[in-house]
A and B are shown apart, each in its own frame.
Chain A
Amino acid sequence: MRRGGDGSGLARAVVEVQSVADIQGVLKVARKYHLPVIPQTTATSTVIGSDGIAGGLILSTRKMAQILEISKDDSLAVVQPGVVNGDLDQAARKQGLFYAPDPASKPFSSIGGNVSTNAGGMSTVRYGATKDNVLGLKVVLADGRKVTLGGRTLKQAFGYDLTQLFVGAEGTLGIVYEITVKLMPIPLGTSIMGLAFFKDMAQLAQGVTAIRMSGVYPTMLEALDGNTIGALDKYEKTHYADKSGAMLIFRLDGSSDANIQVLKDLLAKYDAQDVQVTADEDEQAQLIQLRRDMLPAVFAGQNHLMEDMALPLSQLAPMMAYIQQVGHDLGVTIYTAGHAGDGNVHPTLVWPKDQPEVPGAVLEALRRIFWKTLELGGTISGEHAVGMMKNQWNQPELDDNVDYLQHQLKTLLDPMNLLNPKRKIN
C-alpha cells in the first residue's frame, strides 16, 4: 500500500553509508539545508519508523554490515549496525555462543534496527529484550560528534546510562554505527519444545502466569488464539483448530527431567489438552517455523494492523478476554497471538483487501484496546516501537511531565529536529 497522508513521503536521496565520515557528511548536508534524515537499516519497521519523509535523506546503514569481533572470553560481539540478527547468531554459534534476542524478523532484520527499536522476540521471556543484551554503542550525534557509550563490561555504574537512552530511540537522537552485544554460552543439557491446547486464551494466560512463577524458566511461551490457529490450519493444512480455542508453544533450554515434570504438572492443572513434548531438533525447528508462519497465515489476502501491547502478567488473562469481547461487539475479526510469557500481546485486526481505508470499526476497536491496556497498567508498545503509528498516544501513555521531558531530551540532542522528525515523540 502506498502512503503519504501518514507523514511518509518520497525521499530526495538514499545514502548507503560505508563509514563514520559518510554519516558525518550526510548530517552536515542535512544541517546546512535543513533536511530531515531518516536512519534506516533493513526497513522492516512495522510502525512507519524508517519510511521516507518527503524531500528528506534516507541514511541507510545496511551496508555497514561487518561483524568486527566475537570474543569468547568476554562473551560479546562487536558489530556494525547492518549485521543481520540471524547472521550474528550463526557466527556466534560456531564458537559455542549465541545471540539471544530473536524477533520473528531475525533472518532479515539488522542489529542496528533491533537496537534502535529495542526489539523483542520469543525468547525475551528468558533472555530479555535487545536492551538487556546491549553493552555499548558508538553513535554519531546530529551535530556530527562521535560518542562512545558503555563498553565491554557486564556491569557499569558510571555516569548517566546513555547507552540505554539510545536503545529504542528509533533514530531520533543519533546514528548508531557500532554496537557491542552480549553473547550467551549455549546451554548444556536437553532442550525440549512442545504444544498444549486450552479452552481459550484467558485460560492459557492463567497457565502461563503459573508456569512463569514456578521456577522452571521457560525460554519460550507463545500463545495463539482460535482464529490464528484456524488461519494456520489453512496455511499449513493442519487440523489444530479442531482441538481447542488456544494453543501454547513452549520451550525449555538445558532442562532437567524434574523441570519438565513441573511444567507438565502445571499444564495438567490448568486443563491443557493434547500436550505434546519433543526433544527432537527437527521437530523443534518445525514448531518454531509454525510460530513464524503465523504472520503470513494471518495476513494472507487481507489488510491488517498488527498491534503490540505488553501487560503486567496478572492482567494478561483479562486483556485476552477483553480483546475477544471488543472484536465481538464491533464485528471486527481479530487474530490474537503473542509472547505470552512476557505479557506481550499481538492482536491483528483485519479487513478486506479491496478496502484501502482502515474501517472505522477497526480504529474504534484499537482505541478501546489501547485505553484498556493503559487502564490495566500496560504499555501500547511492547517491542515494535512507536514510529508514526502510535506517537499520538504519547500523552496518555507517558503523562504530561514525561512527554515534556522527552521533548527536552530531543531538543538537547537534536536542536534542529533533523533526525526522524515527527516519529516516536511527535
Chain B
Amino acid sequence: MTVFSAYSDDDILADLKAQVADGAVLTDQATLQKQSFNSNASGGRR
C-alpha cells in the first residue's frame, strides 16, 4: 500500500522558513548529521 502525506517536504520547509524571521533554517546534510548525532553517549542504547 502506498502511504502519502498531504504535504511535501518542500511545503514543510517553505512554511518553516516563513515562520523563522530572525534565525536560520539549516538543511545541509553535514549540519543535519552533526547536530543529530552527538558522540557523548558513546555506548548507545542499552
Contacts and interface: CB of A to CB of B under 8 A. Distances in A.
Interface of A: 1-3, 5-19, 21-22, 25-26, 28-29, 32-33, 35, 40, 43-48, 50-52, 57-58, 60, 63, 299, 303-305, 349, 358, 362-363, 366, 387-389
Nearest to A367: B46
A245 B17 CA distance: 57
A61 to B, nearest CB: 10
A26 B15 CA distance: 9
Contacts of B32: 10-14, 52
Given A22-B21, A26-B19, A43 B35 contact: yes
Please report whether the interface of chain A is mostly helix, strand, loop or mixed according to DSSP. Answer: loop
Interface in B17-39: 19-27, 31-33, 35-39
A349 B46 CA distance: 13
Interface residues of B, number: 30
Contacts of A48: 41, 44-45
Nearest to B39: A1
10 nearest CB pairs, A to B: A52-B36, A25-B19, A6-B45, A305-B43, A18-B22, A18-B23, A19-B22, A17-B23, A14-B26, A22-B23
A15 B26 contact: yes
A305 B35 contact: no
Contact of A22 (B9, B22, B27, B37): B22
Contact of A11 (B19, B36, B39): B36
A220 B44 CA distance: 31
B27 A12 contact: yes
B20 A45 contact: no
